[in-house]
A and B are shown apart, each in its own frame.
Chain A
Amino acid sequence: MEQMIGESELHTTARQIRRDIITMLLEAGSGHPGGSLSAVEILTYLYFREMKVDPADPQWPGRDRFILSKGHAGPALFSVLAERGFFPREELLTFRKIDSRLQGHPDMRKTPGVEMSTGSLGQGFSVANGIALAGKLDKKDYRVFLMLGDGEIEEGQVWEASMAAAHYKLDNLTAFLDHNGLQIDGPVTEVMSPEPVADKFKAFGWEVVKIDGHSFPEIRQAIDHAKKTQGKPTMIIAETVKGRGVSFMENEAGWHGAAPNREQAEKALAELV
């Protein structure tokens, strides 16, 4: 059930997932490459190293749960789920097409392994809280992982949920903030600055860890720290690069929600080898 692979294999897997993201976006003709590429290492680590999940039984009650609250990074999640065996990889090419199980934003009723339908920002956070609260109530040992975008935390619901997670001492909840610094209209600090994010979550009662979100050892250490932390939830502020791995997409807000054309995709794939 648990799939353990070494760090070099994690890098290989992450590269394959980046290739899949580019390929599926090219095929779809639309989608969100920037915030998908920034989340790849975290998702890869969670699904290939950390989380107890069973691709043959996605609803297995004992599973760890992952909620992609920044649902526009669906291509990253879909690629990871396919790579992990939840559904055939060829299906990635149906992304965003009519009758597909892979919707523009994740749909729990359509895609095996998708825990919650997301896309409207801020909402996945509260849902993760509910699952974590239920786990506490039932004395289950599953853990809940959550990923937020740094633009997403401009939503008021995020702070309602932050308050509640600390109030209810949800130490079975570990959140990642994909801190890539960019949102659709530009740098988050220019559009509506959520900084200083670490101080804010600390003030809301969270354990806060800062890492390089593309470093597998740092991701591992941060998760281990979260698992040892008792009485409060942990926010892992992952410094990431939007568009990571594709030189011309890196740190470019314009690649938040634009698909590559064939030439651009070929260039990107040539870099991802």
Chain B
Amino acid sequence: MEKIATREAYGKALVKLGAQNPQVVVLDADLSKSTKTNNFQKVYPERFFNMGIAEQNMIGTAAGFAIAGKIPFASTFAVFATGRAFEQIRNSIAYSRLNVKIAATHAGLTVGEDGASHQAILDISLMRSLPDMTVLVPCDGVEAEQAVFAAAAMDGPVYIRLGRSAVPILHAGGDRFAIGKGEELRQGADVSLLACGIMVAEALKAAEELEAEGVSARVLNIASIKPLDVETIVKAARETGAIVTAEEHSIIGGLGSAVAEVLAEHCPVPMERVGIKDVFGESGKPQELLDKYGLTAKDIKAAAYRVIKKK
């Protein structure tokens, strides 16, 4: 299966978007080679602004560009974008409802060897709690590109969560992606596996193995964490009676929490959350970390069996 990191897709998408829309400007905080905004810089140097290692100022400057009618994309590692500059995002972007796109890379444990200081495991939680913020977590390169174009097409703040490691391409091209819509990747009746980002491929793998063992698992790709596709989630809960969420993020505040909120209010059914269990990560190879912290198809499968038992 062909693989590409969502950050790679982001860099390429920016170049395409820059050609279509002269209002697009890109800001980075000395990580342009890693976030892949250097792709844009090479083609449109006059519209690229390196803000140095100063994330708070980068976010505020992006807000100023938006006031002046530009469509700024601001990029750095997710841990710094959403943590270091959180209050700037809150007050200068979200509260003012400015048209800034924060595209943050190196999210989750798959940052790998750099270790816990660089692994964003709370970013979805932080961004999801901000009024007026749209939160997108694409699962592959195709969806990452579509998320970039969808973000640019809407007026308002958007957070796009991107990864460092290459992940399988699950989608064909086309204009499928829509903010606020979940995507059914696989039908199923016994349990629903709701995943985002790199965990979507793992959920599909888990569903295949479950099928071989006689369990029919539905797989939903929830790339739009906010707004959330409540209808599709409630339908899955009603029709399958058991839910597993899977995310490369803390089980507190991310996809699992968002889905739990929907289920508690609209259709309480047994649920399990696969994610980082309220701990920090560590250095290691991405796959070693995913294995150690329980973020694999095997973990999703085990959670599926546990939750089915509770039905």
The chain A residues found within 8 Å of chain B, CB to CB, are 61, 65, 107-109, 115-117, 119-120, 122-135, 137-138, 156-157, 160-161, 163-164, 167-168
A131, closest chain B residue (CB): B64
Q: How far is the CA of A61 from the CA of B67 in the complex (A)?
A: 10
Interface contact tally, CB-CB below 8 A: 103
B residues in contact with A122, CB < 8 Å: 56
Known: A161-B57, A161-B60. A127 touches B47 (CB 8 A): no
A137 and B47 contact, CB distance less than 8 A: yes
Of B51, B59, B60, B69, most buried by chain A (CB within 10 Å of CB) is: B60
Q: How far is the CA of A157 from the CA of B58 in the complex (A)?
A: 10
CB distance from A246 to the nearest CB of B (A): 30
Find residues 40-81 in chain B having any chain A CB closer than 8 Å to their own CB. 46-47, 49, 51-52, 54, 56-70, 72
B25 is an interface residue with CB less than 8 A from chain A? yes
Given contacts A116-B64, A130-B62, 18 further A-B contacts (CB under 8 A): A108-B67, A116-B96, A122-B56, A123-B92, A126-B56, A126-B64, A127-B92, A129-B61, A129-B64, A131-B68, A137-B25, A137-B70, A156-B56, A161-B60, A161-B61, A163-B57, A164-B52, A164-B57
Q: How far is the CA of A213 from the CA of B25 in the complex (A)?
A: 37
B residues in contact with A123, CB < 8 Å: 60, 87-88, 91-92
Interchain residue pairs A-B with the least CB separation, the first 4: A130-B64, A126-B60, A134-B68, A160-B57
B residues in contact with A125, CB < 8 Å: 60
B12 is an interface residue with CB less than 8 A from chain A? no
B91 and A126 contact, CB distance less than 8 A: no
Q: How far is the CA of A65 from the CA of B63 in the complex (A)?
A: 14
Q: How far is the CA of A130 from the CA of B61 in the complex (A)?
A: 4
B61, closest chain A residue (CB): A130
B residues in contact with A120, CB < 8 Å: 87, 91-92
B residues in contact with A107, CB < 8 Å: 95
B97 is an interface residue with CB less than 8 A from chain A? yes
Q: How far is the CA of A164 from the CA of B72 in the complex (A)?
A: 17
Q: How far is the CA of A119 from the CA of B90 in the complex (A)?
A: 12
A residues in contact with B61, CB < 8 Å: 126-127, 129-130, 133, 161, 164
The count of chain B contact residues (Cβ–Cβ below 8 Å) is: 30
B57, closest chain A residue (CB): A160
A residues in contact with B47, CB < 8 Å: 137
A108 and B96 contact, CB distance less than 8 A: yes
A133 and B49 contact, CB distance less than 8 A: yes
Known: A157-B56, A157-B57, A160-B56. A128 touches B64 (CB 8 A): yes
Of B58, B64, B70, most buried by chain A (CB within 10 Å of CB) is: B64
Known: A108-B96, A163-B52. A134 touches B70 (CB 8 A): yes
Q: How far is the CA of A124 from the CA of B96 in the complex (A)?
A: 12
B residues in contact with A163, CB < 8 Å: 52, 54, 57
CB distance from A219 to the nearest CB of B (A): 24
Q: How far is the CA of A52 from the CA of B180 in the complex (A)?
A: 42
CB distance from B46 to the nearest CB of A (A): 7
A109 and B96 contact, CB distance less than 8 A: yes
B53, closest chain A residue (CB): A160
| Contact among B51, B60, B95, B97 for A127, CB-based, below 8 A | B60
